Amino acid sequence: MAIPPMVYLIDCEMIRYGAVDENEVIEKDVAELMLAMVGSWYGAMDRRMEAHTPSVRDSFTNRRKIAAGKTPTYEWRTVVIEPKQARAEGLGGAHASPRLHDRRGHLRRLRSGKNVWVRPHKVGSAELGTVFHDYEVRA
């Protein structure tokens, strides 16, 4: 199925679209599919991908925290993502994450069986420090 060239305009919160050629007709389903693909592409391009290593600043507060055996204000961790493996026994834990960090978006299955997307967001307290993550995907 050939998709005719189309133009679109974002006017406030409305998206208007139409064919480039006046003689072409664009079906609503095709236009919605194309606009969804363009929106996904723009969303992917909008994400900032940075590879930097924040270091512990040499400040009075961080020196005092380190001397007292506490964690400094900033920390960097590498999260390794590997192929799914057989489920292992739980190690136990309280899932307490008091320091500020990013939580990745993920699918959540509700008791009703419906899957919903949980958007990525920040959790924890910046007053207790910040944990940065980068990701390494293994085949």
Verify that 12 and 42 share a domain, yes or no: yes
63 phi/psi in degrees, rounded to 5: -60, -40
Verify that 42 and 65 share a domain, yes or no: no
Does a structural domain hold residue 117?
A: yes
Range of the structural domain that residue 42 is part of: 6-46
Number of structural domains found in the chain: 2
The CA distance from 6 to 18, in Å, is 6
Verify that 42 and 73 share a domain, yes or no: no
pTM of the model: 0.33
Residue-wise pLDDT for 16-57, tens only, equals 888 888 888 888 888 888 888 888 887 776 665 555 556 677
Does a structural domain hold residue 92?
A: no
Helix residue ranges per DSSP H, the chain:
28-46, 60-67
The CA distance from 136 to 48, in Å, is 16
**What is the overall mean pLDDT for the chain?**
78
Verify that 41 and 69 share a domain, yes or no: no
Verify that 75 and 40 share a domain, yes or no: no
The pLDDT value recorded for residue 23 is 83
Rg of the Cα trace of the chain?
A: 23
The 8-class DSSP code of residue 59 comes to -
Verify that 130 and 103 share a domain, yes or no: yes
pLDDT of 94 > 80? The answer is no
Q: Which residue has the higher pLDDT, 42 or 116?
A: 116
Least confidently predicted of 8-22, 43-57, 65-79, 117-131: 43-57
Verify that 25 and 79 share a domain, yes or no: no
Report whether 75 contacts 126 (CB < 8 A): no
